Amino acid sequence: MSHSARKAAFSSVPETCPYVDEAFDDMVYEIKRLSIEEFGTSSFNYIIERCVEIVKKQTTSLRDALILAYEEKEESEEELRDRIAQLEDRIEELENQIE
């Protein structure tokens, strides 16, 4: 995993996906509105823990995919630069032959 791809990924999307965070925040808010007596302390804690775990797993998979995309972009750009340099060299060779 290249450092620049990782840096670009974190610059593009914060540590967690804002949409995932918002959805879970809304769900946690609704769960908290229920009384703990109605819901049960262990059930309440279990759901909160699962929400946090899901956010972390989802964020990790999204981040990994984004980093991979940036790495592929960097590789493509490098290949393109190399090809352009080769073509420029070939053009120079042909121009020298004409002279």
CA distances from 54 to 17, 57, 64 (A): 12, 5, 15
Domain positions in the chain are 3-98
* 11-33 pLDDT tens trace: 776 666 677 777 777 777 777 77
Does the predicted model carry a pTM greater than 0.75?
Answer: no
* 33-50 pLDDT tens trace: 776 666 667 777 777 777
